[in-house]
Structures are given as structure tokens and as C-alpha cells.
Amino acid sequence: MELGFWAFGTAIVAFLITAVIGKYLIPFLHKLNFGQTILEIGPKWHKNKQGTPTMGGIMFIIGIVIAATAGVLIYSFTHGGMDSVSIFVFIGLIFALLNGAIGFIDDYVKVVKKRNLGLTAKQKLVLQFLAAAIYLFLMYLCKDDTRILIPFAGYVDLGFFYYIIMAVVMVGIVNAVNLTDGIDGLDGSITFFASLFMMLIATVIEYNANALFAAAVAGGCLGFLVWNFHPAKCFMGDTGSLFLGGIVCAIAVAMDMQLLLLLIALMYLLEMFSVMLQVTYFKLTHGKRIFKMSPIHHHFEMCGWSEMKIVCVFSAFTALCGLAALLLVIFGIRGV
């Protein structure tokens, strides 16, 4: 019960900092002309969003970092001092910030240098794998553990292959979160529910610092949605979406919940796979498409769904995946 109050307080701090920063950041981004360029390949009705400020993810990055740092430090030093789980939080923040920096460079190239596509795919991947390597190395220094936890079965040691597999999985999910950021409020809403259930899982397995970390993410996402919910007054940009992708990965990996990460992040992954399927099928059939447009949220838009309906349905799906992961922890992992 006490941890619940700490988590609630951490979430509130992240929410308030993020929401208040937005009040000042959005006019500042307008002043700098840091507006989003809407590509011609997207839905035509998105053109009215042209010029909406991007890089808004800066507001929740600040809110989450401050709230998570303060929450974990204060909780740790009032409950016996720092433990390994607390250290994992700060390593996770480093990973998220590295990805946020990659996103910032990408946004800067798009907005300031007027190159619509920003960094090349190769440049992004090299930087993202470098960020993943730094994270995994820091985690190795803290705990040389190459095991993953499988529900109802226990731990399986992957040895050296753990690092290769995890680097690929983490970079994949970071990019999947990035691809999900395509309509007002979608990425923030899905990440809110993903972090909410990771907070509950961390509470069940008593990774208290991770629970506070996830609470800060949930609060930061809600604070951002004050400005990003339809009609959006700003977009998070790659700065925000890559940061969120890094955090989602870091929270799960720190708890040895790599397999459950795939379940909690399933909506992100479906978005990514819809793009991969579309591109592959298009090339193999010389111009035919599976979806009306990808990522899949655009397909539903083309089918007549409103942005609000897509956000609600995709968020509900994520909540169900999170609930399934929580039940697996309670019945299939706790006590293994």
C-alpha cells in the first residue's frame, strides 16, 4: 500500500511537470518555426496538421527524468539505501535518453535542415544499436546474467547469444514505438497503458524502484496527452517516440521480463509488422498492397475510423495485453 502512494506521487509529479512545460514549450517551438512537415504519402486530411510544433517529447522527457530520479532516490534513501534495482532505473534512463538524442538529431535534420526524411535508416540503426550496446554493457557490469524468465518454466540461460538477441529486440521495439506515432494521442495513450501494467508487474515481483520508474512514465504520458490529444497542439516527434521506446524496453529488461515485453508491446509490434508486410508484399507483387496504407493505424483511417476511435481501440488492446502479462506474472512467474 505504501508503494502505491509513492508511485501515485511520482506519477503526479511527472504529470504536472510535463503539462506545465507544455504551456511554455509549445509557443517557443512555434516561435522557432519547429513545425511538422506532413509528407504527401500520408492521408490527405493530415495536411491540415502542417506546421504543428514537433519535438514536443522534450516536455515529457524532462518530466519523466525529474520525477523518476527524485522518486527513486528519495524512496531508496528512506528504505535502506540504493539497491541494484534502483541502479537499473538510472541505466534505463541513460538508454532512453540516448534514443531520445537520436530522435532529436532526426527531428533537427527534418525541421532545421529541411530534409523531410531526417536521418537515413542506416544512420538510425547504427546509432540505435550503439545505444543498445551501451545499455547492455552497463547492465552486464551490474549483473552478469544472461537468463530470461519464461512463464511456468523458470529461467533459461541464453549465454552470449542473450546480448545479440536483446540488442535486436530492443532496437526493433524502439522503432516499433516510433512507427506507432502517427495520429494524435496514439503513442502516448498506448505507452500510458503499457507503463501502467509494467508498474503493476514491478509491484507484484517487488521491483519497487522499477514500479516508480514506470509510474513516472505513465504520468509523463498523461501530461503530454493534455497537449497531444486530438486535435493535437504539438507532436512528440522522434525525440519523444524513440525516448519512450527506450524506456519501455529498459523497464521490462531490468525485471527479466523480456518475453512479457513482447506481449505488452504487441500493439507497437503489429504496427511495425504491418509496415514490413506491406513493403514486402508490394515488392513481391510489383505494386499490390495488403493494407490501404501502413502503418496499420493509417489503414483504419482509410477505412473511415476516426483518430479518436483508433486511439481508444488500440489502447484497449494494449490494456488487455498488459492484463494478460500481469496474470502470467501472478500465476506463471511469481514464486518460480
The one-digit pLDDT tens for each residue of the chain (336 residues) are: 688 889 999 999 999 999 999 999 999 988 877 666 655 555 555 556 666 888 899 999 999 999 999 999 999 999 887 888 899 999 999 999 999 999 999 988 888 766 666 788 899 999 999 999 999 999 999 987 888 888 888 888 999 899 999 999 999 999 999 999 989 999 999 999 999 999 999 999 999 999 999 999 999 999 999 999 888 899 999 999 999 999 999 999 999 889 999 999 999 999 999 999 999 999 999 888 999 998 999 999 999 999 999 999 999 999 999 999 999 999 887 555
Could you give the angle at the alpha carbon of 274 between the alpha carbons of 268 and 277, nearest 5°? 140
DSSP three-state, residue 53: strand
C-alpha Rg value of the chain to the nearest Å: 19
Cα 229 to its chain centre, rounded Å, is: 17
DSSP bridge partners of 147: 157
Q: What does the block give as the cell for 7?
A: 508511485
Could you give the angle at the alpha carbon of 239 between the alpha carbons of 266 and 321, nearest 5°? 15
Phi/psi of residue 149, nearest 5 degrees: -100, 125
For the chain, the domains span: 2-333
Distance (Å, whole) CA 226 – CA 208: 28
Residue 171: per-residue pLDDT: 97
Are 245 and 99 in contact by the 8 Å Cβ rule? The answer is yes
Scored b (16 or more CB within 10 A) or e, 189-210 reads: bbbbbbbbbbbbbbbebebbbb
Distance (Å, whole) CA 165 – CA 158: 9
Are 43 and 30 in contact by the 8 Å Cβ rule? The answer is no
Q: What does the block give as the cell for 262?
A: 513482447
Show Cβ contacts of residue 1 under 8 Å, excluding neighbours closer than 6 positions. Answer: none
Distance (Å, whole) CA 189 – CA 249: 17
Show Cβ contacts of residue 307 under 8 Å, excluding neighbours closer than 6 positions. Answer: 183, 184, 185, 186, 230, 301
- Please state whether the peptide bond connecting residue 27 to the residue before it is cis, i.e. omega within 30 degrees of 0: no
Are 192 and 222 in contact by the 8 Å Cβ rule? The answer is yes
For 131-178, the DSSP string reads HHHHHHHHHHHH----EEEETTTEEEE-TTHHHHHHHHHHHHHHHHHH
Distance (Å, whole) CA 99 – CA 120: 15
Q: What is the DSSP letter of 185?
A: T
Distance (Å, whole) CA 277 – CA 281: 6
Global pTM? 0.93
First to last CA, the chain: 24
Could you give the angle at the alpha carbon of 217 between the alpha carbons of 28 and 182, nearest 5°? 60
